[in-house]
Amino acid sequence: MKNFNWLAVIIVTILLSACNKGYDRLLDEREYEDTTGVTGKQPKILFLVVDGARGEAVRNAQASHLLELSDNAIYSWNSISDTLSLDATAWSDLLTGVHKEKHGVVKSDFSDNRLGQYPVFFKYIKARMPAFRIAAYSASDSLGKMLITDADVNHTFGNDDDATEQAILDELKIDTAGLIFGQFSQVATAGKAYGYDAGIPEYKAAILRVDEYIGNIMNALRQRKNYQHENWLVVVTSGRGGPFSIPPDEDDGTILSNPKVNTFTIFYSPRYMPNFIDRPYTGARYTGKAVRLYGKTATDAVYATIDEGKEDLNLGKTNEMTIALKIKKNKTTYGDYSYTFPNIIGNNLSLDWWKNTGWAISLETNAWGVHYGQNGAGFNMVTGANISDGKWHDLTAVFLNRDNKRFLRLFTDGNFNTETEITSYGSFDTDDPLTLGYVPGNVTDDNRWLNAYVTEIRFWRAALPDNVIKEYVCAEELPTSHPYHDYLIGYWPCRDGFGGVFKDQTEYKHDFQIHNNYQWDDFSDLMCPSSASNLTQLVPQPVDVARQILNWLQIAVDTKWQMDGRVWVTSYTSI
Residues 69 and 202 reside in one and the same domain: yes
Encode pLDDT of 218-236 as tens digits: 999 999 999 999 999 999 9
R_g of the chain computed on alpha carbons: 34
Nearest one of 74, 73, 61 to 210, comparing CA atoms: 61
| Total number of domains in the chain | 2
Q: What is the CATH number of the domain that holds 354?
A: 2.60.120.200
pLDDT of residue 248: 75
Asked whether residue 262 is domain-assigned, the answer is no
Write down the pLDDT at residue 27.
33
Which residues form the domain of 474? 285-527
The verdict on residue 16 lying in a domain is: no
Query: What is the strand order of the sheet 73-80 is part of?
Result: 153-156, 133-138, 177-184, 42-50, 230-237, 262-268, 73-80, 275-276
Question: Is 14 inside a domain boundary?
Answer: no
Q: Which among 541, 562, 569, 543 has a CA at the least distance from the CA of 233?
A: 569
Between CA 190 and CA 205 the distance in angstroms is 9
In a domain, 35, yes or no: no
Domain shared by 507 and 540, yes or no? no
Within a domain: 455: yes
Q: Fill in the amino acid letter for 525.
A: D
Residue-averaged pLDDT of the chain: 88
Query: 520-553 burial by CB neighbour count: b if 16+ within 10 A, else e?
Result: beebebbbbbeeeeebbebbbbbbbbbbbbbbbb
Q: Are residues 427 and 545 in the same domain?
A: no
- Confirm whether pTM is higher than 0.75: no
Whether residue 134 is contained in a domain is answered as yes
Q: Are residues 380 and 435 in the same domain?
A: yes
48 and 191 together in one domain: yes
Q: Are residues 342 and 252 in the same domain?
A: no
d(CA 310, CA 436): 13
pLDDT of residue 478: 94
229-246: burial string, b at 16+ Cβ within 10 Å, e else: ebbbbbbbbbbbbbebee
Residues 519 and 557 in one domain: no
Cα dihedral 515→516→517→520 (10° resolution):
0
Contact criterion met (CB below 8 Å) for 375 and 355: yes
pLDDT tens, position by position, 492-544: 999 999 999 999 999 999 999 999 999 999 998 877 766 555 788 899 999 99
For residues 313 and 224, state if they share a domain. Answer: no
Q: Tell me whether residue 28 is in a domain.
A: no
- For residue 572, tell me if it sits in a domain: no
Residues 221 and 325 in one domain: no
In degrees and rounded to multiples of 5, residue 361 shows phi and psi of -80, 125
H-helix or E-strand spanning residue 45: strand 42-50
Low-confidence ranges of the chain (pLDDT < 50): 1-4, 6-38, 442
Distance (Å) of CA 517 to CA 298, 395, 457, 514, 522 = 11, 27, 22, 9, 17
Q: Are residues 556 and 435 in the same domain?
A: no
Q: Are residues 272 and 336 in the same domain?
A: no
Contact 503, 496 (CB under 8 A): yes
The domain that contains 133 carries what CATH number? 3.40.720.10
Residues 190 and 315 in one domain: no
> What is the spatial distance between Cα 555 and Cα 569, in angstroms, rounded to a whole number?
16
